[in-house]
Amino acid sequence: MPTPELRDVRHIKVCYSKQTYCGHPSQAGLHNFGGGEIAMMHNHANCAYGEEEDVSHGSYFRDGVFLLQRSFDHGETWKREDDQVVWDNGWSEAKKKGIHAGALKPGVEREKIDLSSPDAITFFKRSKTEGRDSQGNENVETFAFRSPDRGYTWEQVPTRISTPHWFSSVLVDGYPPVQFPDGTQAVIADLDQSQLAFYATDSNGLAWHYITIVARDPNERFGRFAYQRLLRLPGGRLQCYMVHLAGMRNQTLEMNYSDDGGFSWSDPKPIVSWGESPWARLPLDHIWGKSIAGPFYRSPWPLLLEDGRIAVIFARRKPPYGMGVIVSEDEGASWSAEAVIRADGSDWDIGYPVATQLDDGRIFTAYYFMENDGNNFGGTRYIAGSFFAV
């Protein structure tokens, strides 16, 4: 397929201050309730931009909050008075441990929430634990918090998502769970930051059950998939979109599928190709002197459009730094060449998009971005938004 034409491309600043670091919205998610109301969360922390440690991911994850923002005009404006802190890493350790402990107690009474309601959403919150996983990474648990009312209120007792006994770490991102006709839901989890697994709930999120492995690289020591997103097509096929970070292929956007409700999966295959890059024709003057090393692809976000096409939005962390999109017109059997949404990033620390199709058919995507604005280390990290038609 040829490169898709992007029309009416426009960029905005969703959350920006030269004293903050705003990032990784795809870890918390975006929800479009229709009629113009959109709720989106991201990691948000004060940042001095004085030392390199200030812009490290570990620093801002440790000190920040999960900030829910809300727009009532299809993503055009995000008023500060509508902001809401859903989780604060600055809370006392006793308070945070108390919330987590509630999920581990048997017989704790839970709120009755119907996850099939269009107003119900789930926030998958990561929590580091002691020790290291099989790949040497810090252990991470995931706790799922439910809201019955579009994120205005949240349950106080979450659900702990457990690993299979031979794994020690589980991560779930903020891509909305797939909804099945019978009311059950499913997500894809990252186990030990090496393999992807299918999880499902048939109890409205009171428990999430491991079902099967979705993707693993044959080179289990070095191979790794990440940034997993689960999509369900109208005919029932499930698709898992991911990045092949290392192993038999390096830094490719890939997809595999299941036709039996998630119990068995095809081998992942690339959905991008070499030799059709629009990025190669773009000038590099604004990042002159930067390292040319870096991943081509990061953090895909698939979007099933109203006309049946699939759009996958991703970040490019190799110069020229920016955001791109590919499109399929045949349910993922073939894919277009890449189209550039923007290519004006000042450095590599960008991406992790969320996206939705608006009532008028346009796409709105939000992600974290950086431009030269006088702050050190490439500029302020902020949440940007782009509107475009494809």
**10 Å Cβ neighbour count for 319?**
22
Give the model confidence (pLDDT) of 2-39 as tens digits: 788 999 999 999 999 999 999 999 999 999 999 999 99
Give the model confidence (pLDDT) of 65-82 as tens digits: 999 999 999 999 999 999
Query: Pick the residue with more confidence: 289 or 165?
Result: 165
pLDDT surpasses 80 at 130: no
Query: Pick the residue with more confidence: 267 or 165?
Result: 267
pLDDT surpasses 80 at 219: no
Query: Pick the residue with more confidence: 233 or 96?
Result: 233
Mean pLDDT of the chain: 92
Percent of the chain with pLDDT over 90: 76
140 contacts 131 by C-beta, under 8 angstroms: no
Most confident of 121-135, 171-185, 272-286: 171-185
pLDDT surpasses 90 at 137: no
pLDDT at position 136 is 61
pLDDT at position 126 is 87
Q: Which of 256, 201, 200, 204 is nearest to 225 (CA)?
A: 256
pLDDT at position 109 is 87
pLDDT surpasses 80 at 133: no
Give the model confidence (pLDDT) of 344-385 as tens digits: 999 999 999 999 999 999 999 999 999 999 999 999 999 999
Cut 0.85: pTM above it: yes
The three-state secondary structure class of 96 is helix
User: Which whole number is the average pLDDT over 193-202?
Assistant: 94
User: What span, in angstroms and rounded, lies between the C-alpha atoms of 78 and 76?
Assistant: 7
**Considering only the top CATH level, what class is 7-389?**
mainly beta
User: What span, in angstroms and rounded, lies between the C-alpha atoms of 28 and 42?
Assistant: 6
User: Which whole number is the average pLDDT over 49-56?
Assistant: 93
- Binning pLDDT at 50, 70 and 90, where does residue 131 land? low
Domain ranges of the chain: 7-389
User: Which whole number is the average pLDDT over 126-146?
Assistant: 74
Query: In residues, how long is the chain?
Result: 390
pLDDT surpasses 70 at 231: yes
Query: Pick the residue with more confidence: 50 or 104?
Result: 50
In sequence order, the 6+-apart residues with CB closer than 8 A to the CB of 289 are none
pLDDT at position 308 is 97
User: What span, in angstroms and rounded, lies between the C-alpha atoms of 303 and 310?
Assistant: 6
Percent of the chain with pLDDT over 70: 95
Give the model confidence (pLDDT) of 273-320 as tens digits: 988 889 888 887 766 666 666 788 999 999 999 999 999 999 999 889
pLDDT surpasses 90 at 245: no
pLDDT at position 288 is 60
Question: Residue 110: what residue type?
Answer: R
pLDDT surpasses 60 at 56: yes
Q: Which of 263, 332, 262, 278 is nearest to 300 (CA)?
A: 332
pLDDT at position 47 is 96
pLDDT at position 289 is 61
3-state helix vs strand vs coil in the chain, percent to 5: 10, 45, 50
pLDDT at position 63 is 83
pLDDT surpasses 90 at 329: yes
User: What span, in angstroms and rounded, lies between the C-alpha atoms of 65 and 22?
Assistant: 10
